[in-house]
Amino acid sequence: MMAGLFFVANGLPMTEAQSSLSETPATDAVAAQPVSAVQAVQAEAGARRRNRRGGRGRAAAPAGPAAAQPAANARPARVPHPVLLQLAQQYPALFGDSPKPLKRGIFQDLQAALGEALEKDGLKQALALHTRSTRYLNAVASGMARHDLQGAEVEAMAPEHVLHALMEVFRRKKPRDGEDLQAKLARRIGQAFVASGLNRDAYLEKVQLRDPAAQAVVEAALAEVAAQDARAEAVLRAFEGSGADSVEAFADMYGMNVHQVQRQLQRAKQLKA
């Protein structure tokens, strides 16, 4: 389900080009020469002798051309786009290691601010690379506001942009041992939905999902939020009817975690308001 889900996310409409300093290969890898049959046989015979002697170490790497193979297979060095380097120096709070979401129309703002110091096509390429980077997408997925060149917040991030960034970030993730990425994605979608302040129908209309699998993931996340909200409202009713003089006393009365009860009561009061 997870592999299918992440490939589905590619079909979502990305409403803006979305990276901190994206990188491009600087050099091509040098192809290694093939290992001769003699060298291969010698290496295999040596390994058998070491095994018979009870040796536990790895077989020594063959000398000569074979030794160059790991270096040849290594990923080439990468260098940032030169315009991104320039932007990171000029606006480190926006284009540095911890980028912030950019206001719409930032291209025109940069042209006006830096003029001929930035070549138009190079700036377009740099912004496209930057806004597609995982670091930038993470900033958008967190729900941070959009910022202008002075670093001021100028516009709230649209719910659909947050969701699409979340989908893309999780599509790129590789699960660690025992990690349930689908559950984590559903939890993040639920948090984004709550933060949007919209009801279910208004949220789904905003995000405009067209892919059935992606739609199913989002609807499952919203259903879990609805279940949690129902529990929060039940806790609020129980607290109000308990006669307890504090949240701590109420939680102790029912053997509940006080911090969880506080969160539930806060959420229930928000829903009630």
For 7-16, 58-67, 216-225, 248-257, which range has the lowest pLDDT when averaged over its residues? 7-16
Helix (H/G/I), strand (E/B), else coil: 249: helix
Q: What is the pLDDT of residue 20?
A: 34
Q: Do 225 and 190 form a contact (C-beta atoms < 8 A)?
A: yes
The domains of the chain are located at 2-24+79-160, 179-272
Superfamily the domain 2-24+79-160 falls into: ProQ/FinO domain (1.10.1710.10)
Mean pLDDT of the chain: 79
Helix (H/G/I), strand (E/B), else coil: 268: helix
CA pair distance 77, 210, nearest whole angstrom: 39
Percent with pLDDT over 70 in the chain: 72
Q: What is the pLDDT of residue 141?
A: 97
What is the pTM for the complete model shown? 0.68
Residues 175-213: pLDDT tens digits?
A: 888 888 989 999 999 999 999 999 999 999 999 888 888
CA 193 to chain centre: 17
The CA-based angle 74-77-81, given to 5 degrees, is: 145
| Residue recorded with tokens 């606006």 | 91
Residues 42-78: pLDDT tens digits?
A: 444 455 555 555 544 444 455 555 555 555 566 666 7
The CA-based angle 160-163-165, given to 5 degrees, is: 105
CA pair distance 67, 39, nearest whole angstrom: 11
Q: Do 82 and 122 form a contact (C-beta atoms < 8 A)?
A: yes
Percent with pLDDT over 90 in the chain: 58
Residues 104-129: pLDDT tens digits?
A: 999 999 999 998 888 889 999 999 99
CA pair distance 5, 170, nearest whole angstrom: 10
Residue 239 has pLDDT above 90, yes or no: yes
Q: What is the pLDDT of residue 58?
A: 47
CA pair distance 19, 169, nearest whole angstrom: 11
